[in-house]
Structure 1
C-alpha cells in the first residue's frame, strides 16, 4: 500500500517563509542606533553601552573628544556615516588604559567602518601601548578607517582579524609600538591598506598562525623612521602578495624590509610565499628585502626588487628556497619612483618577464591609491611586480573601497586575499600628503631593544605590552615582555582577540538552516 506524505513536497518558498516566521522575533530585535547632534545618542559610548546583539551604530561626522568605549556586545557593527569620517580623538589617556575602542574578551563578531581614531596614549607605567582599537575579542573586521598619532593604531590579541581599505600613519613612540600589531590570531587578513610613517616600529607586525598581506602600500617614504615594513616574528603560513613595499632613507632599522621568524615562539607552519610585490629600497645598501632566519619553505616569486640590497637571506640551511622570476634592477622603468607611483612604463624590463605560478600565488588585484584596490588585468605573460602593464578589456571597471553601507562584513578571503574585479590600469598614484585620506566612496563595498643581529642598537626593553585580561580597574593584568631582537620591536605583547563564534540565532542561524535544506547563495558582481 502506498502511503502519501502530504508535507514531504512543500515548496522551498513555503519552507523559507516558515523559517523566517520562526526566526522573526530574533531578527526584529536588531536596531539602528544613531549618534550625533540632535540624534538619539550624543556620544558613541552611550550608544555602545545601549547596543544589543545584531544592532548597527551609525555615527554622524564630527569630532568626538575623549569618547572612549568598551564593546561588550557581539554581532555589532559600528560605522561612520555622512560625507566624512567621524573623528574619535583622545586628548587624555583612556581611563581603561587600553584604547579608544576596547573589544572585550570573548566578544564578537564586531565590525568597525569609516571612523578616524587618534591620540590614544598611556603612560610608560601603564604600558605605553594605548591604541585606537584594542582587540581582545573573538573576531574583528576593520574597514575604511584611519588610525594616526596613537601609540598603536590597532593592538590585537589572539582573535581572527580582517583589516581592509584603511590608513595607518604616525602611530608608534619608542619602537615597541606599531601601526598595527596582531597577536597569535588564527588568521590575519590585511588587504588594500596604506600603512606609512610608523614611529620607530613596524608598518605591519603579526604573530598570527596564518597571514594574508595583500595589495597594500607599506612605506616609510622620504622621512619615515620605521623598522621592518612587515614583521612576522613567529612565522606562520604567510602570503605576501601584490604589495608596494618601500624602505626609506631615514629608517631606524636600515637592514630589514620583510622579517620572517626572527624571534619569539614558533608557529607550527613555517611556509612563506612572497609573490608579485614591488620592493623599493631608498635607504642602506645593506638592506635585505626578504630576511627569513628560519623557515621550512621560502618561496620568492615574480617580485621586482629596485635599488641596492640583498633580495633573499635565509638562516636555515635545510630550508627549501624557491627563487623564481624575480628581477633586481636599479632602473625598473617605474612611472614615478620618487613620487611612489610604482606602475610600469611602456618598455619596462618587468613587462611579460614573470613566470607562470600556482593559481593561489597569482594576484587578481592591485593597489589603487589611496587605500583601494582594482582588478589586475591579464595581458600576455605575467609582469614582474605588483602591477600589470596594460588593460584587460574584459574587466568591469570597478574598484574596491571597503566601506559597506549595508553592514555586510563578508570579505571573500582566499589564499591570495582576492578582491572583486575592477578596472585596471587607471591608478593615478603619485606624491602623497601626510593628512587623512578618505579611502574612496563611503558606500558599495563589493567585498567583504639591545644589540640587534644587524649590529644596530635600540633602547633597553620597556615594561610595555600588557594586553591581557581586564582587571577590576580596567587595566591589564597579564604581561608578555616579548623577545624581539630587531630594531623597534622589543616588548610586544600577546593576548586578547579569537575566532568567530557562529552559534546562536539571528541571520546566521537562518543561513545555516537554509544550507541544510539545499539553498545556495549566489554572489553577484555589482
Structure 2
C-alpha cells in the first residue's frame, strides 16, 4: 500500500514537471528572450539600444516584448526569430519601433494591442529614408505602419495587416508619405473604425500580388491617394465588404488640393475585384492625367459600369461568376486560376 502511494506521488510529480516544461516551451511570454547586437547578447531591447551603431544587426529572440525602442542609426537590420511579439509596446507616444535612420530593414516581427494616447499608435513609425519591411504581422492595434514626410522608398513585402483603425477614419493600416510605396505579396484585411487600408500622400504607390479586403470590417476605403501621384494596382485581389462606410473602393485626389506631383495617373491591371456592398463604386477620382483600366475581372453589381467595364470582364454576382458566396476569397496564389475559371464558366455581362 505504501509503495503504491509513493508510486502515485512520483507519477503526479512527473506530470506536474512535464506540464511546467511544456508551458515554458509553448508560451512566448515564458520564453527567455535575449537581444543580440552584432552578436553581443543583452537581457532586453532597452539594454541593447545604446550598443546599436550604423550598420548594426539586431536579432531578437522569440518572446513577448512589452517595451518598444527608439533607434536612430542607419543601415541597420532588425531581425526577429519566429515568435517575436510586441504586445502593447510603444515609445515616444508613437509606436513599438520608432526608427529615424536611413536604409533600414525590419523582418519577422508581430505587433498587437499597440495604442497610444493620441489614438494613432503603430507597430512601426519611420522617420528616415528608405525602409524595407518584410514578414510583418500587425493586428488589433490603432494603426500598422506610419511615416513622417520622408524621402526614398517604403517597401512592404510578405506581410499582413488585420483589424486596424481608430478615431473614425484618422488611423489606418498604412499611412505613408514618401517618394514611393511598394506593397508586394501582402494582405490588408478587416480594417475597423473607418480606417483605410492604404492612406498615402506619396508620389507613387505600387500594389502587386496582394489582397486588400474589407470582409466584415467597417473601413473607409481600400486605398486613398490623398495628394494625387501615380497609383498602380496589378495582379491583386480587392474586395469591398457590406459594412464599408464609403461606396468607393479607391479614392484619388478627393481632398481637392492642387496637383503636387509631376505624374498623376492610375493603372489597374489584371485584378480580381469583388463587390459585396449594396452600393459599390470602383473609384472616385479627380484631375488624373491618365486612367488605364483593363484585364480586370469584376464580380458583383457596381455603379458606372459603362465607364469601367470596357477592356475588363463583369459578372453581376458571385453566383453568375460561379464562385463561392461571401465571405469567400481566394488566396493571392489562387488568383490567376480563379480568374480563368470565372472567365470559362461564368455568365458575363455585355455592355
- TM-score w.r.t. the length of structure 2 is 0.78
- The equivalent of 1:46 in structure 2 is 47
The answer to whether 1:283 aligns with 2:272 is no
- The equivalent of 2:323 in structure 1 is 334
CA 1:96–1:229 in structure 2 vs 1: closer, same or farther (change >3 Å)?
Answer: same
> What are the Cα deviations for residues 427-451 of structure 1, in whole angstroms up to 9, with x where unaligned?
xxxxxxxxxxxxxxxxxxxxxxxxx
The separation in 1 between residues aligned to 2:239 and 2:50, in whole angstroms, is 42
- The equivalent of 1:203 in structure 2 is 197
- The equivalent of 1:87 in structure 2 is 85
> Equivalent residues in 2 for 1:422-461 (5 A)?
none
The separation in 2 between residues aligned to 1:311 and 1:79, in whole angstroms, is 47
Query: Normalized per residue, which structure has more helix?
Result: 2
Residues 299, 323 of structure 1: 8 Å contact kept: no
Where in structure 2 are there 5+ consecutive unaligned residues? Answer: 1-33, 347-351
User: How far does residue 336 in structure 1 lie from its aligned partner after superposition?
Assistant: 6.6
- The equivalent of 1:486 in structure 2 is none
User: How far does residue 232 in structure 1 lie from its aligned partner after superposition?
Assistant: 1.0
- The equivalent of 1:459 in structure 2 is none
The separation in 2 between residues aligned to 1:323 and 1:194, in whole angstroms, is 26
The answer to whether 1:301 aligns with 2:287 is no
CA 1:131–1:211 in structure 2 vs 1: closer, same or farther (change >3 Å)?
Answer: same
User: How far does residue 197 in structure 1 lie from its aligned partner after superposition?
Assistant: 1.2
The answer to whether 1:258 aligns with 2:244 is no
- The equivalent of 1:151 in structure 2 is 142
- The equivalent of 2:71 in structure 1 is 71
> Equivalent residues in 2 for 1:17-32 (5 A)?
none
Residues 154, 181 of structure 1: 8 Å contact kept: yes
> Equivalent residues in 2 for 1:162-241 (5 A)?
162-174=155-167, 175-183=169-177, 185-199=178-192, 200-221=194-215, 223-241=216-234
The separation in 1 between residues aligned to 2:133 and 2:273, in whole angstroms, is 26
> Equivalent residues in 2 for 1:398-409 (5 A)?
none
User: How far does residue 149 in structure 1 lie from its aligned partner after superposition?
Assistant: 1.9
User: How far does residue 265 in structure 1 lie from its aligned partner after superposition?
Assistant: 5.2
Residues 118, 150 of structure 1: 8 Å contact kept: yes
- The equivalent of 1:142 in structure 2 is 133
SS at structure 1 position matched to 2:242: coil
Query: Normalized per residue, which structure has more strand?
Result: 2
SS at structure 1 position matched to 2:125: strand
Q: How many residues align?
A: 298
SS at structure 1 position matched to 2:321: coil
SS at structure 2 position matched to 1:46: helix
Residues 291, 312 of structure 1: 8 Å contact kept: no
Residues 69, 91 of structure 2: 8 Å contact kept: no
The separation in 1 between residues aligned to 2:173 and 2:248, in whole angstroms, is 17
> What are the Cα deviations for residues 245-268 of structure 1, in whole angstroms up to 9, with x where unaligned?
111111122x11011121145332
Residues 138, 160 of structure 2: 8 Å contact kept: yes
Where in structure 1 are there 5+ consecutive unaligned residues? Answer: 1-33, 314-320, 354-526
SS at structure 2 position matched to 1:294: coil
CA 1:306–1:68 in structure 2 vs 1: closer, same or farther (change >3 Å)?
Answer: same
> Equivalent residues in 2 for 1:334-353 (5 A)?
334=323, 338-341=327-330, 343=335, 344=337, 348-351=341-344
Instruction: Please give the root-mean-square deviation of Cα atoms over the aligned residues, in Å.
Output: 2.5
The answer to whether 1:325 aligns with 2:311 is yes
For residue 92 of structure 2, the aligned residue among 96, 116, 138 is 96
CA 1:303–1:311 in structure 2 vs 1: closer, same or farther (change >3 Å)?
Answer: farther
User: How far does residue 312 in structure 1 lie from its aligned partner after superposition?
Assistant: 6.5
> What are the Cα deviations for residues 56-109 of structure 1, in whole angstroms up to 9, with x where unaligned?
1111111111x211111000000112xx33001126xx34111111112xx211
Residues 226, 252 of structure 2: 8 Å contact kept: yes
